[in-house]
Structure 1
């Protein structure tokens, strides 16, 4: 009973500031220039974020209680990692696509969270995991024990003697190191396909019935619950790598169906691959995560060398714009699958601040990973990059989750949010001032990018221009003070619009940049 998922047939059916920190103009919220999805989005692992009922696990009501914190930080949307019922802590193996995990609360809790978020002009994006289900999903349990099950066609099966099951021993992407893709069912001569591992059997998108089920799921969350968009997990793996065109077409089809119920539907996809592979997905997924940029920023700040960071970013953006002029570049430093940025820069606060400054002044629609703004640490395995958020010192922290014993974010290792909010030099306030700068600047939010070479390896320089606003951005990535001489074509940038070190100053055509500092000049 082999399904045609591994055929090469095209899916033709698819197309039937002048003072330290933010200046007064930046702080004025009524002048806000950004508008989501071009604004800041904050990624939350619900289980670790905020506990409302004392059971040690983060929950929806806990998140609701922290919406003012997010509003204060300046974010305009949240991306919630999976919340569906699941047997695992991470919940990327779903057992009910229409439900909320009981540890997290109820559907009514979630609807109220969305209601309260919308009152604060914060959009809600939920993780949608449709590449695979859990092997404990009722669909799979029934399909595995009964070859005539109505759900048999929801999954990919082949006989144990089929030659294609011998194509093992290779990985096909940065998002999985699994090499065993065909898995046994006890007491059966048939194997099922699971790209990531046996507990996550792939869904069969060659099945019209399965496709319609997926549309039904999407419609439910948009119309019955009220979410604003989906983050699509493993978007590259709906079909195998040898069928990329089918993958591209599927997302066009899915988006068109979702637009029927939400004309402003927001879909952001995870395609962990080089730009030339990512590009074609933009026709169906206008927002895609920019993995290349996160790696490039980390490399630049660690080496204290700007290199080709800005030029390469512009090159990738130019390529994507040719595919889809309206695309949304979902930039980020690190996410829930990667070592945290603070650990990636070996705990160096100056370098973490510089990475943030680059992210928030370069083009893109930035995503922040929860706890990034307070310098949370974390290295693989995954549990250790998803540790409990630190709201306050232990004796006062009624929201801290305790579902796991943290390895990196222990008492004293990281200053909690409450302390950092009171410290003007904290990482939190560094994030807040840069977010405010960006949110209130059309040039930084929407502007074109012009890379500059000013002859100093440790200085990243570029111009951002939108309509009548043009900003010259200078970042000193090095440990040494640097004086930059501006060429004649940049002489018009005479006003210090923003700086994050009081020692930074402009003297005629020269700009003094203290170590690890940023200056934004305006015409």
Structure 2
């Protein structure tokens, strides 16, 4: 597979008919297929800025016919991901675990037997790297499974492992509840253990340095021995909970700094991405230690904008938040997404509206940060809570019997397989899948879209989301008509060339009319 073939095919650069200010009127009936491309235009190569793809291995692709997705199944689909334009994958937990989801780990240096072996993981990483795809995996450091040997030894009184966990004493309010009013102290004896998420996930005691040593060893193993490129850090703000310390966020940041030193020793260019589901002021406390945090506020604004067909304040909010984060860490990277494995799927949130789904993708893929796609988002998989049904199997072909399909849980959603399947959408020009391919290719083609900053635009009208992307001397004006109506605006004098347009438009002098549900990007003079 040629390295940039798919990106070149997918990229629509609109230049013809948009450069002449003398033209009285010019209408484009469809995006131009004229290519103005050179390898120098690929911003994705040799950069930390890239599009990531979140994979629940159990649900993604089955390689051995047992009905469970596995690591070899992911390896077999790397070409699909490369053609999509993905530059990195995030694997949800792959460690041994008694639960289907894997967030309660029983061995930090091994692979869940349902998914394969350590050799399978090494092969996946090797094959991904051949395609310039980085591999990030979940590392669940806040808690273990209650079936982990450490906890089992703690329960029978082993003093070493007893001190690996958090236990109540006479001063503890064991009736205290967590952030969502959940019970957090568990057990039947006088001394109870802390488990923020549920009793099957006892919290580790990071006031004991031996626990961090265990995690450093695990992190270095995956980076050095297996060759992965970084970690998505689950529940990053809970290592030391608010029940243990009034300065828990600051305490956690110090712990993450210590962990980062160890990972940098193992692999200097590795990355740490924190799940810190909180306000920007709290997220900022962690950016002295972590390379990035997921932007949950932006997720809400993207969905609100496309649902309401009007700007929910995306650019102004991002400009303000990014400005603050950069005062904390100049090298900070945003990790942006629409929904993930803990949220109702995009297409269900949008009630099956493909136009809204396309606009959500267009917004995500033109904003600053590293976009994360949740597997199946690009084909419009649906799903609502409970969690099992936002993690339903990927649909590759119309036939459910094809061996590639995971059958770990039955589909309650996306039963229209003959419309949703990858093999079907690949052959439909206007499919959601091909829209994702196009928008990723556009992003990957321009350094300013990949890692430029954002500035709010003065162009405002109902139904329009507008902003500028800036990097060095480059400026792009990005206009999204997220509404069902045509919109007419007046362009700034310094916008000369159309870099990309997803749909037809009419330009008369500086007056521009955008089609419904469309995106157009201008380059400044």
Normalising by structure 1, report the TM-score.
0.91
Aligned pair 1:498/2:500, yes or no?
yes
Structure 1 counterpart of 2:518: 517
Between 302-311 and 120-129, the greater mean CA deviation after superposition: 302-311
CA spacing shift, 1:212–1:115, aligned 2, 3 Å: same
Cα contact 1:23–1:498 (8 A) shared by 2: no
Cα contact 2:87–2:132 (8 A) shared by 1: yes
Structure 1 counterpart of 2:210: 209
CA apart distance, 1:256: 1.2
CA apart distance, 1:395: 6.0
CA apart distance, 1:336: 0.3
Cα contact 2:184–2:194 (8 A) shared by 1: yes
CA distance in 1, matches of 2:373, 2:274: 16
Cα contact 1:255–1:285 (8 A) shared by 2: yes
Aligned pair 1:355/2:349, yes or no?
no
CA distance in 1, matches of 2:264, 2:116: 29
Residue 43 (structure 2) aligned to one of 5, 30, 33: 33
CA apart distance, 1:210: 1.2
CA apart distance, 1:308: 1.8
Q: How many residues align?
A: 493
Q: Secondary structure at the match of 1:283?
A: coil
Structure 1 counterpart of 2:59: 48
CA apart distance, 1:396: 7.0
Cα contact 2:175–2:185 (8 A) shared by 1: no
Deviations 1:406-446 (A, max 9, x none): 11122447510111111110001111111010011011112
Q: Which runs of 5+ in 1 are unaligned?
A: 1-16
Cα contact 1:26–1:440 (8 A) shared by 2: no
The aligned runs of 1:476-487 (5 Å cut-off) are 476-486=481-491
Between 231-240 and 19-28, the greater mean CA deviation after superposition: 19-28
Residue 464 (structure 2) aligned to one of 450, 459, 463: 459
Between 394-403 and 44-53, the greater mean CA deviation after superposition: 394-403
Question: What root-mean-square deviation, in Å, do the aligned CA atoms of Structure 1 and Structure 2 show?
Answer: 1.7
Deviations 1:331-362 (A, max 9, x none): 00000000111111111111111111111111
Aligned pair 1:66/2:77, yes or no?
yes
Structure 2 counterpart of 1:193: 194
CA spacing shift, 1:36–1:379, aligned 2, 3 Å: farther
CA spacing shift, 1:190–1:222, aligned 2, 3 Å: same
Structure 1 counterpart of 2:172: 164
CA distance in 2, matches of 1:166, 1:255: 33
Aligned pair 1:392/2:404, yes or no?
no
Aligned pair 1:139/2:147, yes or no?
no
Q: Which runs of 5+ in 2 are unaligned?
A: 1-12, 16-29
Structure 2 counterpart of 1:18: 14
Structure 2 counterpart of 1:4: none
The aligned runs of 1:3-402 (5 Å cut-off) are 17-18=13-14, 20=30, 25=35, 31-34=41-44, 35-146=46-157, 148-159=158-169, 162-168=170-176, 170-172=177-179, 177=180, 179-185=182-188, 188-241=189-242, 242=246, 243-394=248-399, 397-402=402-407
Cα contact 2:92–2:137 (8 A) shared by 1: yes
CA spacing shift, 1:65–1:231, aligned 2, 3 Å: same
CA apart distance, 1:24: 5.2
Q: Secondary structure at the match of 2:325?
A: helix
Between 103-112 and 300-309, the greater mean CA deviation after superposition: 300-309
Normalising by structure 2, report the TM-score.
0.91
Cα contact 2:346–2:382 (8 A) shared by 1: yes
The aligned runs of 1:462-473 (5 Å cut-off) are 462-473=467-478
Detail structure 1 runs of 4+ shifted over 6 Å in the superposition.
none
Cα contact 1:374–1:414 (8 A) shared by 2: no
CA spacing shift, 1:109–1:22, aligned 2, 3 Å: farther
